[in-house]
Amino acid sequence: MTSDRRASWLKGVLDLLVLADLTAGESYGYEIAKRLAASGMGQIKGGTLYPVLNRLEEAGLVAAEFRATERGPGRRYYSLTAAGRDVLAEQSRLWLDFAESVRTNLAKGAPR
């Protein structure tokens, strides 16, 4: 599988993956990207992740708070809102149904 193909597939589900990641508690972008990479999603660059976080914040699905640090630049921490939890639950069901349909159809064409 080429990285371009994987990146294309990831675009369709990245919003949900970020919301799901935030169910464990608040976090900042770099940590979210690290956890997603560790879970097999590959490296997600800031130029991809931060627009997603901004879009989710504008939609009211995550809340953000900037915090200064003792050393280095401050960080913007994100947390899941009640609306974000609702959207995650609904959209996760829809995505899983869709993924199952894809799996079923691909299995029909798989070599035996």
- Give the pLDDT confidence of 1-14 residue by residue, as tens digits: 466 777 788 888 99
User: How confident is the model over 89-101, as pLDDT tens digits?
Assistant: 999 999 999 999 9
Any idea where the domains of the chain sit in the sequence?
3-109
Q: Residue range 57-80: average pLDDT?
A: 94
Which fold, 3-109?
A: Arc Repressor Mutant, subunit A (1.10.10)
Predicted structure pTM score? 0.88
Q: Which letter, b or e, does each residue of 2-40 get, where b requires 16 or more Cβ atoms within 10 Å of its Cβ?
A: eeeeeeeeeeebbbbbbbbbbeeeebbbeebbeebeeee
**Which residues, in sequence order, are CB contacts of 87 under 8 Å at separation 6+?**
19, 61
